[in-house]
Amino acid sequence: MPQPIRIAIVGLGKIARDQHLPAIAANPAYKLVATASTSGGQAGVPGFASIDELVASGINVDAVSICTPPGPRPAIAITALSAGMDVFLEKPPAATLSEFEAIRTAAAANRRVLLASWHARFAPFVDEARRWAAGRTITSGRMSWRESVRKWHPGQDWLWQPGGNGVFDPGINGLSILTAVSPLPVAVRKAAFDVPDGAQTPIAATLTLVAGAAEIAVDLDFRAEGGETWEIELHASDGGRLLLAQGGAAISIDGETQRSEPEREYPNLYEHFAQLIARRDSDADASPLMLVADASLIASRSTVEAFRW
């Protein structure tokens, strides 16, 4: 039997504890050997305060999952890659495109595997949606990504600072699905942001995207208190209609009764990462981050009332 991948986690916040630790524990391809975090450790494995302390410890680590906020990720990733570790980046992979490119360059230079983990692409019906769209001409579409920041990100002040992305932290999940499903490249034509008084990033946004001749209307909102809406709808020139709902965990094609399956995004991601390591291959697509960056370049901005999250 092959030896398990000795993996460490850097950044033990909510996403690491909710998703990464359970997915690693459930997959025999991995063995958690260390953590590095300023917010506590994990029982049973050595804990360190930083990636530098982890590297200096001499513990044998094959791969690292970086689950910190986006700002510090490039320095952590480059340190890990230079130390001979393969790297799994929580989304978004970095705060800026240039920093992400620096990470990709470091991975190539050190011949290490890099996964930019657009986890929403691993929802149950994204592959079926991609197959539906392949070979079709998309004529129009919409994407609605609405949820409560108080429910999903309580007290996470970094979201509202420069580089924190605000509503694009969840919205980029929908963009990652859309860019995976669309048979043509997706670009930003218009954008408008609502920014709370005292914050630096938007709490809501509307975008007009284009893919070929198709326009896709995007509605993002972090103030939805009545339940989540995570939907993408596409129309094709042959009359076909696709609806992805529940973030890709449900699908309806041409008006059929909606089908759904349990969400397994992070277990699927870790299976994918293990396969990449076995093949010595990387998966580091920048297109969802590019859409956020482009929207930020051209957006009109309105200040809205202060919001307590």
Query: Which positions are annotated as active-site residues?
Result: 91
The string of DSSP codes covering the chain is: -PPPEEEEEE--SHHIIIIIHHHHHT-TTEEEEEEE-SS---TTS-EESSHHHHHHHT---SEEEE-S-TTTHHHHHHHHHHTT-EEEEPSSS-SSHHHHHHHHHHHHHHT--EEE--GGGGSTTHHHHHHHHTT--EEEEEEEEE-BHHHHSTT-GGGGSTTS-TTHHHHHHHHHHHHHH-SS--EEEEEEEEEETT-SS-SEEEEEEEETTEEEEEEEESB--S--EEEEEEEETTS-EEEEEGGGTEEEETTPPPEE----HHHHHHHHHHHHHHHT--B---HHHHHHHHHHHH-EEEEE-----
